[in-house]
Structure formats: structure tokens, C-alpha cells
Amino acid sequence: MATGNETSRTDVELLEAWDDGDSASGNALLERYFDRLLVFFGPRSDPDVEDLVQRTMLAVSYTHLTLPTSDLV
């Protein structure tokens, strides 16, 4: 469940909440990193760069499920 205070939560807290089904936390992470990832992937001239950014964020979420939290700090 969203707390309404996503900007003050750490990435790990947001990831854990997203993994628990809180879509607002997933959206907060996407908003936090979207522009940075867009700049990173943009020069590759991929016409679907926004899709690539979204797939990257999903991969982060799936990877988080397999790593101990201490590895993410």
C-alpha cells in the first residue's frame, strides 16, 4: 500500500513495497530513474527507448527478488 511519501523512501524500501504489490512505489522508482535511463539508452538510437527503460526497471525488480537486501545497500 502506498504511503504517499515515496520521495523520502529509499530505493530498497520502494523495491520491497513494489514487490509486495504497491504499484505507487514502482511508479515512484520509475519516475526517479526514468530520465537518467533515457539519457543512458538514448544515444543508442533505439526507436523504442522508452520501452527499453521500462524493461530495465522490471529487470531490476525481478533481480531484487533474488538478491539479499544487504547486497542492495
Q: What is the pTM assigned to this prediction?
A: 0.65
The tens digit of pLDDT for each residue in 6-62 reads 678 998 899 889 888 999 998 998 899 888 888 888 776 667 888 888 888 888 877
Distance from C-alpha of 12 to C-alpha of 50, rounded to nearest angstrom: 23
Residues in contact with 15: Cβ distance below 8 Å, sequence separation at least 6, in sequence order: 25, 29, 60, 61, 64, 72
Using the structure block, give the residue that is written with the C-alpha cell 511519501.
Answer: 5
Q: Where are the domains of the chain?
A: 6-72
